[in-house]
Amino acid sequence: MTKMVKIENISVGGASPLVLISGPCVIEDYKTTYDIALYLKTLTQDLDMPFIFKASYDKANRTSVNAFRGPGVKQGLEILDAVKKELKIMILSDVHQLSEVEQASQVLDIIQVPAFLCRQTDLIFEVAKTGKTVNIKKGQFLAPWDTANIIEKVLSVGNERVLITERGTMFGYNNLVVDFRGIKIMQDTTGCPVIFDATHSVQLPGGSGKSSGGQREFAPILARASVAAGADGVFLEVHKDPDAALCDGPNSLRLDDLGPLLSQLKELKSII
């Protein structure tokens, strides 16, 4: 069993209930962000499921120079702060540069290190030193046991509040696969709670030429499999209309489809 990480009134890992991390890939505007957060808060309250809202203020690792990245650090954090205070929810977002970390730590409850940056030692040190809970997304290029070296970097500065997120492994060109053995391997190797990112695991990186493709129809299947394999939480990117989303629409789920899936995941977790 993994150690429990306490984030305000939410516990992740150990014998804690399954936690949901969810939201749109990127902040498109205040209203869209608020509406999605409100929907998710209401739904998870009805299901009695712990919930952390996720949205990125800047998606720095886009396929094309013309891809939408979000409103940027200043405006993005202002939107997240407003949504957080209005709805009284916890917020997760990712940082890409050392210069963002201090400012982001004033708003975020969980600071995420993106998969492509999970080996950037100085960035991990800076994030860990904030004392905030850190979510490390496992790089698509790493073996599960390699995450132990990343966790050691966080622990070395005295921060023990760490989550790891599995998001698939590169398999040939423009494709990802998930090895569900990795959930238990990472739990046993690091002792940290493991979150499964079901929507990024069905992404087809760069698969649409100037943007990433995706196969959202498989995300619910992988989400259920991850809970059966013992994941401590599930990460789902969602949107009112994924086909119109400005980022990662092909692998995002429709908000309207989320309720039945979450009910299934909760029931699976109780059985496990």
Bridge partners, residue 10, by sequence? 7
Answer whether 87's CB lies under 8 Å from 93's CB. Answer: no
Q: How far apart are alpha carbons 26 and 48 in whole angstroms?
A: 26
Mention every residue, 6+ apart, whose C-beta is less than 8 A from residue 174.
204, 205, 206, 207, 213
Give me the CATH code for the 5-271 domain, please: 3.20.20.70
Label residue 177 exposed, middle or buried (CB < 10 Å: 0-12, 13-18, 19+).
exposed
Say whether pTM exceeds 0.85. yes
Q: Which residue has the tokens 């990662």?
A: 248
**Residue 168 region by backbone torsions, left for phi larger than 0, else alpha for psi between -120 and 50, else beta:** left
Instruction: Return the closest-CA partner of residue 180 out of 170, 168, 189.
Output: 168
Mention every residue, 6+ apart, whose C-beta is less than 8 A from residue 267.
none
The pLDDT assigned to 211 comes to: 76
Q: How far apart are alpha carbons 211 and 67 in whole angstroms?
A: 7
pLDDT in tens, the chain (272 residues): 899 999 999 999 999 999 999 999 999 999 999 999 999 999 999 999 999 999 999 988 777 787 889 999 999 999 999 999 999 999 999 999 999 999 999 999 999 999 999 999 999 999 999 999 999 999 999 999 999 999 999 999 999 999 999 999 999 999 999 999 999 999 999 999 999 999 999 999 886 777 778 899 999 999 999 999 999 999 999 999 999 999 889 999 999 999 999 999 999 999 98
The pLDDT assigned to 1 comes to: 81
Q: How far apart are alpha carbons 235 and 230 in whole angstroms?
A: 14
